[in-house]
Amino acid sequence: MPAGAVAASAVLHKGEEPPLIGKHGSGAIFFSGCTLGCPFCQNAQISIDDLGSGLSDSELAGIFLKLQERGAANINLVTASQFTPSVIAAADEARGLGLQIPIMWNSSGYETPQTIKLLSNTIDIWLPDIKTLDSNSAGRLFDAPDYPITTRAAILKMADQLEVRGGTLIKNDLMKRGMIVRHLVMPGEIDSSREVFEWFAENLKDRAMLSVMVQYTPVNAAGEKLAGHDYIMPDSDYKRIMQWLEEFEIEEGFLQAPEAASKEWIPDFNRPNPFPEKYSSPIWHWRQGLL
């Protein structure tokens, strides 16, 4: 990717965890490219095919401010690691022009502690993924056997940064500062979910919430849903997940219902509104600009 930010879409998005959406939705900006590149990515149009258009730092700051003006609960930077310097510059500019809502880092977690340190004065809410802690699975699933070690270090650094800023702050049910760690349960990888819960309980239980997602929907390399591959988590797996959460006494967080797996979640970034209307209102599109 180039040095300056490239993005595909900005929307008011209601498909996030409850303390992140408020009345009008989270102000999500979907950046192009990704530091990881999973073959099952539902956003493959942008993460792998790099669909999107370049934005100057000032243009990006303008989108932040437009999202705030339209009632966004926060600025939700979706997969922006590859543009860290631009995002920091845009955030500084927007803060100087009146941006007050929290800024959220919604990432794969596959990034260096140095990146997290750079972001320490910019980010209020950390929203990293933790996909697996099994390096064989990480090698096989997305060709990154170092994912567990890299992501553990990054997430712990995020938790430290949050503590330095004063820890979690929730006002009127809206998160102003905090951390939610997302874990997507994958078919055939259920045992690695247990490992993730155990690590979370040992390291983060008192500092972060856990969001367990079961919306895995098989897609091809172009991000299209694979015909005949509907995946709904079996009841027995769902029960095991609930038992493990109880075993590790993880009480703060969110657990998706099994029926959340749906092709509705697969966006089309060629459309001004990539998501169904009930989940999102478009604010900016890479072809059309501000809407």
Is residue 45 near ligand SF4 by the rule CB under 6 A? Answer: no
Is residue 36 near ligand SF4 by the rule CB under 6 A? Answer: yes
9/108 with CB nearer ligand SF4: 108
Is residue 214 near ligand SF4 by the rule CB under 6 A? Answer: no
User: Cα separations (Å) of 208 from 77, 160, 178, 197?
Assistant: 19, 11, 7, 12
Is residue 37 near ligand SF4 by the rule CB under 6 A? Answer: yes
32/122 with CB nearer ligand SF4: 32
44/61 with CB nearer ligand SF4: 44
Q: Rounded to whole angstroms, how far apart are CA atoms 97 and 88?
A: 14
Interface with ligand SF4: number of residues (CB under 6 A) = 9
Provide the residue type at 145 as one letter: P
Provide the residue type at 1 as one letter: M
Q: Rounded to whole angstroms, how far apart are CA atoms 41 and 34?
A: 10
108/280 with CB nearer ligand SF4: 108
Sort 264 into a burial class: Cβ within 10 Å, 0-12 / 13-18 / 19+.
middle
142/238 with CB nearer ligand SF4: 142
Residue 36 Cβ, how far from ligand SF4 at the closest point, in Å? Answer: 4
Region binding ligand SF4 by CB under 6 A among candidate stretches 3-11, 36-44, 60-68, 236-244: 36-44
Is residue 41 near ligand SF4 by the rule CB under 6 A? Answer: yes
19/267 with CB nearer ligand SF4: 267
Binding mask 81-120 for ligand SF4 (x = CB under 6 A): ---------------------------x------------
Q: Rounded to whole angstroms, how far apart are CA atoms 196 and 186?
A: 12
Of residues 53-82, those binding ligand SF4 (CB under 6 A): 79
Q: How crowded is the C-beta side of 33, counted as CA atoms within 13 Å? A: 15
Is residue 47 near ligand SF4 by the rule CB under 6 A? Answer: yes
Is residue 161 near ligand SF4 by the rule CB under 6 A? Answer: no
Q: Is 194 within 8 Å of 237 (Cβ atoms)?
A: no
Q: What is the DSSP string of 182-219?
A: EEE--TT-HHHHHHHHHHHHHHTTTT-EEEEE-----B
Region binding ligand SF4 by CB under 6 A among candidate stretches 6-14, 33-41, 194-202, 249-257: 33-41
Which chain residues interact with ligand SF4 by CB under 6 A?
34, 36-38, 41, 43, 47, 79, 108
